[in-house]
């Protein structure tokens, strides 16, 4: 495995590569990322992991400067899971000029996190398209924990005819249900004990829907009741949405997704589950 820091070196290393799989990350790798790399390893010939904390997807006042950076351990994890190349560009390598070009995925970007993080998905779509153009992979891997990001990228690829297959990989959870996230590192012990309420709330709403509930308000209430028991938790949004564009639905049809964002202290956590309402 080799770490490369600039586009030219990466492209030279990939010159005769076949069936490239790209795993774009912001580093601070955990078992969820490792699962992405392992999935890519099974399906592709050459595995590229990118590690880049992308400034243009963070809003003012967000955690860009605090975002955990653990490069040495990340490189070990990449090697262990079978990556061939790790692309670790500087901000100047990714944005040598003032970035004037942005990719906007309308509608899908506007709900859920998009409402609370204006410009976030624009920054995500733009950097992912850059990475796809730099690496030119046949397949690229993204976690389902960030479902809105995944759907934004899927639609970008369709709408712009980008020649790549986007693969969504199921969320990896701690034994108590908390979805793995680099931001879990921010949690104090007490906050960490409250955090599993996120997934418990999703499961409670999902159970109600599977049992036949078709009223969105009632399904939401089942989830909110669980979250409201925790004084450390503040709900940012909790929505029942259509599984494609992730727009909140007013009545529950054959399948929905439930998506939630909470603050636990100063840490923002998101999660989501798919529900086949049958």
Stretch touching a second copy by CB under 8 A, among 34-42, 46-54, 106-114, 175-183:
106-114
Q: Which helix (H) or strand (E) holds 264?
A: strand 255-264
> Which residue(s) pair with 273 in the sheet?
258
Distance CA 186, CA 265 (A): 9
Stretch touching a second copy by CB under 8 A, among 137-145, 154-162, 190-198, 263-271:
154-162
Pairing of strands 165-169, 139-143: parallel
Q: Which is nearer to a second copy, 65 or 101 (CB)?
A: 101
Q: Is 31 exposed, middle or buried (0-12, 13-18, 19+ CB in 10 A)?
A: middle
Q: Which is nearer to a second copy, 163 or 212 (CB)?
A: 163
215: helix, strand or coil: strand
Q: In angstroms, what is the minimal distance from the CB of 243 to a second copy?
A: 16
The reply to whether 101 sits near a second copy by the rule CB under 8 A is yes
Q: Which is nearer to a second copy, 21 or 89 (CB)?
A: 89
The residue from 66, 90, 106, 217 that contacts a second copy (CB under 8 A) is 106
Q: Token pair for residue 31?
A: 């078992």
The reply to whether 158 sits near a second copy by the rule CB under 8 A is yes
Distance spanning both ends of the chain, measured CA to CA? 46
Q: Which is nearer to a second copy, 96 or 170 (CB)?
A: 96
The reply to whether 103 sits near a second copy by the rule CB under 8 A is yes
The residue from 12, 19, 91, 104 that contacts a second copy (CB under 8 A) is 104
CA distances from 136 to 70, 142, 213 (A): 26, 16, 45
> Which residue(s) pair with 256 in the sheet?
275
Q: In angstroms, what is the minimal distance from the CB of 115 to a second copy?
A: 17
Q: What is the torsion angle, in degrees rounded to the nearest 10, for the CA atoms of residue 142, residue 150, residue 198 and residue 205? A: -130
Q: Is 138 exposed, middle or buried (0-12, 13-18, 19+ CB in 10 A)?
A: middle
Stretch touching a second copy by CB under 8 A, among 105-113, 141-149, 190-198, 206-214:
105-113
The reply to whether 162 sits near a second copy by the rule CB under 8 A is yes
Per-residue binding string, a second copy, 107-136, x by CB under 8 A, is: xx----------------xx--xx--xx-x
- Report DSSP state, residue 174: -
Catalytic residue of the set 5, 30, 33, 120: 33
How many Cβ atoms sit within 10 Å of the Cβ of residue 212?
A: 9
User: Contacts with a second copy: how many residues (CB under 8 A)?
Assistant: 27
In the residue annotation, 111 being an active-site residue is answered as no
**Positive or negative torsion for Cα 210, 212, 217, 218:** negative
Q: Which residues bind a second copy (CB under 8 A)?
A: 7, 97, 99-108, 125-126, 129-130, 133-134, 136, 155-156, 158-163
**Active-site annotation, residues:** 33
């Amino acid at each position: 495995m080799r770490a490369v820091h600039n586009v030219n070196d990466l492209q030279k290393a990939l010159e005769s590569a076949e069936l490239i799989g790209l795993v774009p990350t912001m580093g601070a790798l955990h078992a969820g990322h490792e699962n992405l790399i392992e999935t890519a390893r099974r399906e592709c010939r050459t595995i590229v992991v990118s590690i880049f904390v992308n400034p243009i997807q963070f809003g003012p006042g967000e955690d860009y400067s605090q975002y955990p950076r653990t490069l040495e351990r990340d490189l070990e994890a990449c090697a262990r899971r079978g990556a061939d190349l790790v692309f670790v560009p500087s901000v100047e390598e990714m944005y040598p000029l003032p970035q004037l070009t942005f990719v906007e995925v309308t509608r899908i970007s506007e709900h859920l996190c998009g409402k609370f993080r204006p410009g976030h998905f624009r920054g995500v779509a733009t950097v992912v398209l850059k990475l796809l153009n730099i690496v030119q992979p046949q397949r690229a891997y993204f976690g389902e924990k960030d479902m809105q990001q995944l759907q934004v990228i899927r639609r970008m690829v369709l709408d712009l005819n980008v020649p790549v297959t986007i693969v969504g990989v199921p969320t990896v959870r701690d034994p108590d249900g908390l979805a793995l996230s680099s931001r879990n590192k921010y949690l104090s012990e007490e906050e960490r004990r409250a955090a599993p309420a996120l997934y418990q709330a999703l499961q409670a709403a999902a159970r109600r829907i599977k049992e036949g509930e078709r009223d969105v308000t009632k399904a939401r209430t089942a989830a909110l009741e669980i979250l409201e028991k925790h004084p450390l938790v503040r709900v940012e949004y909790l929505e029942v949405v259509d599984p494609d564009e992730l727009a909140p639905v007013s009545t529950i049809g054959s399948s929905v997704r439930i998506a939630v964002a909470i603050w636990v202290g100063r840490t923002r956590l998101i999660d989501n589950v798919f529900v086949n309402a049958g």
